[in-house]
């Protein structure tokens, strides 16, 4: 734990950021893998985790912080951490923390109401949990937002049960269930007989509404994108001793945090997927005003306005813009402020911005209105290590934070606003909105969105879960650590040859940390509040396969962008359900035999989760589980490529999953980890070889990236990963040290295909211009055959002893049927020892604890 003060430092321009490495800089700034700088105002209190909610105790002297697995208590004035109360085996939900009579109540996604009190010894202690209503759906109920009704009763929402529960805290009894909308987030209590509930998914769909299931509940969706397109606030009233929903008010998308004015005449609702705040008159229950909270009105979607605080006099609203890493300071209009009509503007106005940590997700304002407390969900990124001064980080080293900020005067607010806009590259973003020039000459990556490109086809290959050092750390040409390389040139000869023959990218980063957010970054260059706050356990869904319409940005995915602009697409594996696609009893060797023999004896049945992709998806190309090797997948693509050649036409955008470098650990009946990575390597090499030998090579670019780094180790940063840009225009035998990330790869695709940006993240991203030249080199790629037998199998348990048996048993106990279900730290140890040897010391400096039994 640390207390950090960010002193004065120069402001970064886009070019400056592009030359730096991700992480803590010498001047105190933090560069994060989303093209942004973190330089928060005020005092920073840091701690392990990802905080999602705040509550004041002792009249604001103490701030309680709801974290991933614990509650942190901080002395507000000094920022001193007083105590951390662990909640064992808990999965704390996305929001839900309240102080009632000095006792802290905390919602648990597993169906428990946790409570903490200050004991006579001067410590906060955890009390026995109160079980709440169970739901009939499989999985955890995900209890979330809490609000005080009285000193004896509280409300708590259940996002998967679609209800609010009344809890008798005096007698420790769970009470009435009140059905509301889809995925209720939190509660605002007006009186003893009336309350409001924000519904993340809006109203329940009617029979004829386009709809999909979100965590077991039908949810209204956009017919084109299949993504949730409704948000609402339910009103519940108490009549004749019983609470029930009386009305629903339509607001923006993903309504989340709410706050009432002093006399409860106005309700403010933050709509995270609309970048707005809805202002509701609580007498008429009508929306009076919708306030846009983006830093600049010309910007597209992407601010994630998700939490609120209100000044004591009711004239100023503070809005947490999660994706902008700031608090928007809004001067409320006459109609939107309670009893303050004189001198108020006709429309509410964003006066300025206050810089915070990474992704502010909760705000408190002290009683005097002089100090803001902000919970930063991602804090300072992956810097939670006792070894901050050392090299090397793990992407799961979450270092959460709160910012304690004095409310600024007008002069200071102007300075803060300039800092926020510089940190988010506002001028660069606005320049990116310039219209295409009609006389622009074709370039590989045009200067503006919509201008012509020399590239006509993009093949976008998404692999699974490796850091740069794990694969390319042995390349002397780049910034690698050979000691951390476990799948080096002997295992991945094609990765190494591609890096040498084309461009080696040694400063490329995943924007996320695991598959749930990783596939959102690769496919839409954005991650919603719904996902950013779910790291306590992902109780609603783990939507790397696109299964949950509530999880994604309303602007859709790169394929939606392409289809909307009349581009042709073909999909191989993205948004395919993670479920067995083969008959029961099928083994990996059955698919491998089909590959070797060129047969199709094993039938494949896939389920496509995205309606927009259904008519564009290969009907038998699988995703997870990893029973089919990647060379099998490569053959499916090559068959299509021959058909494209015959027709003289290839899709403009091809999406492809190559997941087998994830591996199945040392599980018997599956290949060894190095064999599965070798399979992935050979498949990639063959795909590149086939495309480079085709008639489409002259104007095709192959972009390759890992979806996430899977808590892997890297001596620069845990987000750093393996990526390629392969085309006739790619610089040959070149090393590009430019800082790129997944949002920039998405932007590169957009610019090559003449597509507009989808949101603020891809708009502000750096396209991958540095690795391309103006003149083409049409020399085709020649694949390197595998050096590791693809069917080098893990031995059965009965043939193992000692540490080999120990780790194999750990592997068998894991769930590899779905991405990222297996414990990542244990999994990385299995991979390390399987390659390096069971007596080779694991690089402990990249983890927080030693594994049991090691």
Q: List beta partners, residue 103.
A: 100
List of residues 6+ apart from 241 with CB closer than 8 A: none
Residue 390 clears pLDDT 50, i.e. is over it: no
Assess contact for 723 and 705: CB atoms under 8 A: yes
Residue 7 clears pLDDT 80, i.e. is over it: no
Q: Which of 439, 494, 493 is nearest to 461 (CA)?
A: 494
Q: What is the pLDDT of residue 807?
A: 86
Token output for 289 = 């005003």
Q: List beta partners, residue 319.
A: 308, 328
Q: pLDDT tens, 637-687? A: 999 999 999 999 999 999 999 999 999 989 999 999 999 999 999 999 999
Q: Are strands 62-66 and 153-158 parallel, antiparallel or unpaired?
A: unpaired
Residue 853 clears pLDDT 50, i.e. is over it: no
Token output for 214 = 């979100």
Cα–Cα distances in angstroms (integers) from residue 513 to residues 381, 396, 532, in the given order: 10, 7, 11
Q: What is the pLDDT of residue 820?
A: 59
Task: Report, as an integer, the average pLDDT of 249-254.
Answer: 98
DSSP character for 28?
S
Q: What is the pLDDT of residue 5?
A: 41
Q: What is the pLDDT of residue 151?
A: 95
Phi-psi region of 183 (alpha: psi -120 to 50; beta: other; left: phi over 0): left
Task: Report, as an integer, the average pLDDT of 210-235.
Answer: 97
Fold for the domain defined by 457-771:
Alkaline Phosphatase, subunit A (3.40.720)
Q: What is the pLDDT of residue 831?
A: 85
Residue 780 clears pLDDT 60, i.e. is over it: yes
Domain boundaries, the chain: 457-771
**Cα gap 646→142, rounded to integer Å:** 52
DSSP character for 777?
-
Q: Which residue has the higher pLDDT, 175 or 844?
A: 175
Sign of CA dihedral 167, 168, 172, 175: negative
Residue 740 clears pLDDT 50, i.e. is over it: yes
Q: What is the pLDDT of residue 2?
A: 41
Residue 161 clears pLDDT 50, i.e. is over it: yes
Sign of CA dihedral 728, 564, 277, 184: negative
For residue 717, report the phi and psi dihedrals to the nearest 5 degrees: -165, 145
Residue 391 clears pLDDT 50, i.e. is over it: no
Structure-derived torsion over alpha carbons of residues 643, 646, 650, 654, reported in degrees to the nearest 10 = 20
Q: What is the pLDDT of residue 846?
A: 64
pLDDT mean across residues, the chain: 92
Q: What is the pLDDT of residue 8?
A: 37
Q: pLDDT tens, 269-281? A: 999 999 999 999 9
List of residues 6+ apart from 615 with CB closer than 8 A: none
- Tell me the three state secondary structure of residue 393: strand
Q: Are strands 740-741 and 723-726 parallel, antiparallel or unpaired?
A: unpaired
Residue 821 clears pLDDT 70, i.e. is over it: no
Task: Report, as an integer, the average pLDDT of 345-356.
Answer: 96
DSSP character for 775?
S
List of residues 6+ apart from 78 with CB closer than 8 A: none
List of residues 6+ apart from 50 with CB closer than 8 A: 67, 68, 377, 378, 379, 398, 400, 533, 535, 536
**Cα gap 801→290, rounded to integer Å:** 66
Q: What is the pLDDT of residue 337?
A: 94
Token output for 43 = 């005092």
Q: What is the pLDDT of residue 6?
A: 39
HSE-up of residue 661 (Cα within 13 Å, Cβ side): 32
Q: pLDDT tens, 116-130? A: 998 888 899 999 999
Q: pLDDT tens, 460-504? A: 999 998 999 999 999 999 999 999 999 999 999 999 999 999 999
Residue 59 clears pLDDT 50, i.e. is over it: yes
Tell me the pLDDT band of 388, cut-offs 50, 70 and 90: very low
**Cα gap 622→574, rounded to integer Å:** 9
The three-point CA angle 537-539-544 to 5° equals: 85
Assess contact for 834 and 672: CB atoms under 8 A: yes
Q: pLDDT tens, 60-92? A: 999 999 998 899 999 999 999 999 999 988 889
Residue 395 clears pLDDT 90, i.e. is over it: no
Radius of gyration for the chain, computed over Cα atoms and rounded to the nearest angstrom: 27
pTM exceeds cut of 0.85: yes
Residue 40 clears pLDDT 80, i.e. is over it: yes
The three-point CA angle 481-486-489 to 5° equals: 85
Q: What is the pLDDT of residue 677?
A: 97
Determine which of 22-26, 588-592, 604-608, 696-700 has the lowest per-residue pLDDT on average. 22-26
Q: What is the pLDDT of residue 15?
A: 57
For 173, counting Cβ atoms within 10 Å of its Cβ (0-12 exposed, 13-18 middle, 19+ buried), the class is: exposed
Percent residues over pLDDT 70 in the chain? 94
For 9, counting Cβ atoms within 10 Å of its Cβ (0-12 exposed, 13-18 middle, 19+ buried), the class is: middle
Assess contact for 620 and 606: CB atoms under 8 A: yes
Percent residues over pLDDT 90 in the chain? 82
DSSP character for 634?
H
Cα–Cα distances in angstroms (integers) from residue 255 to residues 200, 286, 356, in the given order: 5, 15, 22
Tell me the pLDDT band of 596, cut-offs 50, 70 and 90: very high
Residue 144 clears pLDDT 50, i.e. is over it: yes
Q: pLDDT tens, 532-573? A: 999 988 999 999 999 999 999 999 999 999 999 999 999 999
């Amino acid at each position: 734990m640390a207390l950090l003060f960010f002193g004065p430092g120069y402001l970064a321009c886009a070019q400056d950021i592009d030359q730096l490495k991700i992480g803590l800089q010498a001047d105190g700034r933090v560069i994060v893998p989303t093209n942004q700088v973190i330089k928060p105002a005020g005092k920073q209190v840091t701690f392990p985790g990802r905080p999602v909610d705040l509550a004041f105790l002792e009249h604001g002297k103490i701030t309680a912080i709801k974290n991933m697995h614990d509650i942190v208590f901080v002395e507000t004035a000094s920022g001193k951490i007083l105590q951390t109360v662990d909640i064992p085996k808990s999965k704390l939900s996305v929001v839900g923390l309240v102080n009632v009579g000095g006792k802290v109540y905390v919602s648990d996604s597993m169906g428990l109401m946790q409570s903490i009190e200050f004991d006579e010894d001067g410590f906060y202690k955890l009390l026995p949990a109160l079980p709440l209503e169970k739901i009939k759906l499989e999985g955890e109920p995900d209890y979330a937002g809490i609000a005080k009704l009285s000193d004896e009763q509280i409300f708590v929402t259940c996002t998967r049960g679609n209800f609010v529960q009344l809890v008798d805290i005096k007698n420790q009894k769970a009470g009435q269930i009140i059905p509301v909308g889809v995925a209720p987030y939190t509660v605002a209590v007006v009186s003893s007989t009336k309350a409001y509930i924000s519904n993340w998914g809006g109203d329940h769909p009617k029979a004829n509404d386009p709809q999909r299931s979100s965590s077991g509940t039908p949810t209204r969706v956009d017919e084109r994108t299949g993504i949730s397109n409704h948000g609402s606030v339910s009103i519940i009233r108490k009549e004749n001793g019983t609470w029930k929903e009386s009305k629903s008010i339509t607001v923006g998308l993903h309504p989340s945090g709410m706050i009432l004015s002093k006399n409860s005449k106005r309700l403010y609702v933050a709509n995270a997927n609309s970048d707005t705040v809805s202002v509701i008159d609580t007498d008429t229950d009508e929306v009076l005003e919708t306030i846009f909270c983006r830093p600049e009105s010309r910007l597209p979607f992407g601010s994630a306005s998700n939490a609120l605080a209100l000044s004591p006099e009711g004239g100023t609203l503070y809005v947490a813009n999660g994706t902008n890493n700031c608090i928007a300071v809004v001067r409320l209009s006459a109609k939107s402020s309670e009893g303050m009509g004189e001198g108020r503007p006709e429309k509410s106005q964003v006066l300025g911005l206050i810089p915070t940590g990474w992704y502010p997700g909760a705000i408190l304002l002290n009683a005097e209105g002089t100090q803001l407390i902000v919970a930063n969900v991602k804090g300072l990124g992956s810097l939670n290590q006792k070894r901050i001064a050392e090299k090397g980080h793990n992407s799961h080293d979450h270092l959460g934070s709160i910012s304690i900020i004095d409310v600024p005067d007008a002069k200071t607010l102007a300075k803060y606003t300039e800092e926020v806009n510089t940190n988010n590259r506002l001028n660069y973003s606005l320049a990116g909105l310039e219209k295409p020039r009609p006389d622009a000459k074709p370039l590989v990556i045009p200067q503006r969105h919509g201008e012509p490109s020399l590239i006509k086809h993009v093949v976008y290959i998404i692999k699974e879960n490796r850091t740069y050092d794990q694969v390319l750390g042995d390349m002397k040409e780049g910034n690698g650590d050979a000691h951390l390389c476990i799948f080096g040139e002997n295992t991945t000869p094609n990765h190494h040859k591609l890096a040498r023959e084309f461009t080696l990218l040694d400063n490329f980063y995943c924007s996320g940390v695991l598959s749930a957010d990783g596939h959102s970054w690769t496919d839409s260059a954005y991650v919603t509040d719904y996902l950013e706050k779910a790291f306590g356990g992902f109780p609603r869904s783990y939507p790397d396969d696109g299964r949950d319409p509530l999880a994604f940005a309303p602007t859709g995915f790169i394929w939606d962008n392409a289809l909307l602009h009349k581009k042709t697409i073909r999909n191989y594996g993205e948004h395919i359900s993670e479920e067995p696609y083969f008959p029961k009893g099928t083994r990996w060797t059955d698919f491998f035999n089909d590959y070797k023999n060129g047969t199709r004896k094993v039938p494949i049945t896939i389920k496509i989760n995205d309606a927009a992709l259904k008519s564009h998806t290969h009907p038998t190309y699988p995703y997870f589980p990893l029973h089919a090797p990647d060379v099998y997948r490569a053959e499916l693509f090559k068959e299509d490529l021959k058909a494209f050649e015959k027709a003289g036409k290839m899709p403009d955008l091809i999406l492809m999953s190559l997941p087998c470098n994830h591996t199945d650990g040392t599980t018997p009946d599956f290949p060894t980890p190095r064999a599965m990575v070798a399979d992935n390597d050979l498949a990639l090499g063959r795909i590149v070889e086939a495309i480079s030998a085709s008639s489409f090579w002259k104007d095709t670019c192959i972009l390759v990236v890992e979806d996430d780094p899977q808590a892997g180790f890297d001596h620069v940063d845990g987000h750093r990963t393996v990526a390629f840009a392969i085309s006739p225009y790619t610089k040959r035998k070149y090393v590009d040290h430019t800082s790129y990330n997944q949002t920039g790869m998405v932007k590169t695709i957009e610019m090559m295909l003449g597509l507009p940006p989808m949101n603020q993240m891809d708009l502000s991203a750096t396209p991958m211009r540095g690795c391309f030249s103006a003149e083409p080199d049409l020399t085709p790629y020649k694949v390197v055959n595998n050096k590791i037998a693809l069917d080098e199998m893990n031995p059965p348990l009965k043939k193992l002893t000692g540490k080999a048996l120990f780790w194999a048993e750990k592997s068998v106990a894991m769930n590899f049927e779905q991405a990222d279900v297996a414990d990542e730290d244990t999994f990385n140890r299995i991979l390390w020892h399987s390659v390096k040897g069971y007596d080779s010391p694991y690089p402990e400096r990249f983890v927080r604890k030693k594994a049991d039994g090691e």
